[in-house]
Amino acid sequence: MTATIEEQEAQAFAGEVMGFYRGAMITCMIDLGERTGLFDAAAHGPATSGELATRAGLHERYVREWLASLTTAGIFDYEASSRTFTLLPKALACLTGAHSMAPFSTLNTLLATYVDQIEQCFRDGGGVSYDMYRPVFTDVMDAFSRHGFDAGLVDGLVPAVPQLGDRLRAGARVADVGCGTGHASIVLAGAFPASQFIGYDIAGDAIDKGRAEAASLGLPNARFEVQDVAGLAAAGPFDVVFSFDSIHDQRDPAGVVRQIHEALAPDGIYVMVEARAQSAIEDNLANPVAPWLYAVSTLHCVPVSLAEGGAALGTAWGEQRARELLKESGFVHIETHPAPHDPLGMMIISRAGKAIS
């Protein structure tokens, strides 16, 4: 008997489901490769499992099984006669070096450990507080953002924002709202020594890391403060405010955007970077990253906001809602662009638009 259309579709979908599970497991393997230094060891050239284990200082049996997974996944090439494994050139480009995507895998493996707690939130409501994700989240977020900040802020984002470079060169007072470990401010402080950068975050462990990095680089113009940005206005005025991926998971995002507006000088510039998405689900159907964004949101961004009784905008709250929020808070000349430093990000540039008294 031939299968009905529905049965054929279900069989094909079973393959897709297996593909989701396969991807999740390969993500764990990539995370292990990143943590143990196996990708860097493999970058030195073809090796047997024993040679690779020696290079990385690891146990051969585990390395062999890991290699088998990543070879059958198309990440390594295997020469059976010599039993050597070679990291394929495309994998070398994507999983090693300064632009490696391997550190991103840790966000998946970290958030997977919260499934039990989030299941409880589905049933009982409420959320999981930011503190419950730390200290690991602090480092994961840093690993996620750091390379983009290094590679794309000074030569990418700054020239893409009208007047920003001139202001930073002349000397501006700049706030980085929800700065995490503050690497964006550190990179900018190094490039624009006449400007003062102050990173604010509610997380003490993240702020300690920002202070330590600024001290190790001898950057007197990068300061970091533990502060709830719901009270940012009192720390102003600022000539420029940045927020990198830090508005959507606030308890009161509208309140924070109003505070940013209040904290800005009359001709001040606000650069908001958020995940590149549209606000309506139906407009994200063709976005291949959307399922991942909504999943990260379910496992982190929504619960951290709901833990404080917040608005829970979600990671993919999208351009339209972001622009509305900016407009309602008094911002003008609002422009959206792809974020030059972040392939998954959008950059919304706006001006304080206040009368100069």
Ligand X SMILES: C[S@@+](CC[C@H](N)C(=O)[O-])C[C@H]1O[C@@H](n2cnc3c(N)ncnc32)[C@H](O)[C@@H]1O
Question: Using CB under 6 A, which of the segments 8-16, 96-104, 199-207, 320-328 binds ligand X?
Answer: 199-207
304 neighbors 294 (Cβ within 8 angstroms): no
State yes or no: residue 145 binds ligand X (CB under 6 A).
yes
- Interface with ligand X (CB under 6 A), residue from 104, 200, 224, 294: 200
192 neighbors 122 (Cβ within 8 angstroms): no
In angstroms, the Cα distances linking 257 to 22, 231, 325 are 40, 11, 7
Return the number of the residue (53 or 229) whose C-beta is nearest ligand X.
229
State yes or no: residue 106 binds ligand X (CB under 6 A).
no
Which tokens go with 4? 């009905």
- Interface with ligand X (CB under 6 A), residue from 34, 40, 51, 201: 201
Interface map 222-261 toward ligand X (x if CB under 6 A): ------xxx-------------xxx--xx-----------
Question: What residues numbered 203-222 form the site for ligand X, per CB under 6 A?
Answer: 203, 206
Minimum CB–partner distance for residue 238 and ligand X (Å): 15
Minimum CB–partner distance for residue 256 and ligand X (Å): 7
Sole residue written with tokens 């497991």: 25
Helix axis angle, 183-191 relative to 204-216, nearest 10°? 30
Question: What residues numbered 163-182 form the site for ligand X, per CB under 6 A?
Answer: 178-180
Return the number of the residue (102 or 203) whose C-beta is nearest ligand X.
203
Facing residues of 47 across strands? 85
Quick check: bond before 135 cis, omega within 30? yes
Return the number of the residue (33 or 178) whose C-beta is nearest ligand X.
178
Q: Which residues contact 200 (CB under 8 A, 6 or more apart)?
A: 175, 176, 177, 178, 179, 224, 225, 226, 227, 229, 232, 235
Return the number of the residue (206 or 219) whose C-beta is nearest ligand X.
206
State yes or no: residue 331 binds ligand X (CB under 6 A).
no
264 neighbors 242 (Cβ within 8 angstroms): no
Which tokens go with 112? 């997977």
Q: Which stretches of the chain bind ligand X, using CB under 6 A?
A: 130, 141, 145, 178-180, 200-203, 206, 228-230, 244-246, 249-250
